[in-house]
Amino acid sequence: MRKKIIAGNWKMNQTLEEGKILTSEVVNMGKDELRDDVQVVLCAPFVHLTTLQAMLTDSSIALGAQNCSNHASGAYTGEISVAMLKSVGTEYVILGHSERREYFGEMDSLLAEKIDITLEHSLTPIFCCGEPLVVREKDEQLAYVQSQIEKSLFHLSAEDFSKIVIAYEPIWAIGTGKTATSDQAQEMHAAIRKQITDQYGEEVANGISILYGGSMKPGNAEELLSCLDVDGGLIGGASLKSRDFVDIAKSF
Ligand code: 13P
């Protein structure tokens, strides 16, 4: 059985006070409402992680970050290392989000380094991939996404590959209110799983959680999450509303 995961990506939102309120609401609702077989993750801004970790100790909700350095330590002003993340109780790290690729120039090769250092420190990377609209319009999305996966992940051993989570986030669906249809999501997720099968075999491919991200909301989550190869969601805007976020996590 693949792990079902609902991860909230707060992006650059929420002051500490706001983040504490949001977290306590999710924790309180979650106590009664969340299923044991769904792993909920809150990927918060770095400066909130220590505070949130203390709030999450008695819950099953895990803590995640949104980025990390590709270096272990040293003279990299402004960067955050995986050891630092680990030291404050972080378990997951989003890597390769399209916003990091587009606005901060993160390339496939840099992401490969970040994946390696994350795995070395036993953090779980949530590796994001996804095509822009121009690529979708040319119907070249499968090759585009498969290239992202190959370039940043296929240097891994089967054992290491088994530890990652993949999130397919079509860029045209992020923050736009436009969602991939369940057919589009399933087609891509199945193609990714087939690619992993070809590279690492069926056992590895069948164990990897592949999340969908892009305008997932309570109103469309159930349909997307019912797809055979969709194992969860990476939620942006709707993760900032406790009710919506918990409702999405209940939509399997
Ligand atoms: P939205 O849910 O706001 O579209 O964002 C998706 C996303 O980018 C999650 O990482």
Q: Is it the case that residue 175 has pLDDT exceeding 90?
A: no
Position 21 scores a pLDDT of 98
Could you tell me if 112 and 152 are in contact, meaning their C-beta atoms sit under 8 angstroms apart? yes
Residue 150 has pLDDT above 90, yes or no: yes
CA-nearest residue, atom 9 of ligand 1 = 236
- Residue 206 CB neighbour total at 10 angstroms: 12
Model confidence over 220-247: pLDDT tens digits? 999 999 999 999 999 999 999 999 999 9
Nearest CA to ligand 1 atom 1: 236
Q: Which of 172, 177, 169, 183 is nearest to 234 (CA)?
A: 169
- pTM of full prediction above 0.75: yes
Percent of the chain topping pLDDT 90: 96
List all residues 6 or more positions away from 238 whose beta carbon is below 8 Å from its beta carbon. Answer: 216, 217, 218, 244, 245, 248
Ligand 1 pocket test, pick from 6, 9, 100 with the greatest ligand atom count within 8 Å of Cβ, gives 9
Is the pLDDT at 176 greater than 90? The verdict is no
Write down the CATH number for the domain with range 4-249. 3.20.20.70
Mean pLDDT of the chain: 97
In angstroms, the CA 153 to CA 217 distance is: 29
The letter for the amino acid at 36 is: D
Q: Are 126 and 95 in contact (CB under 8 A)?
A: yes
pLDDT at 1 over 90: no
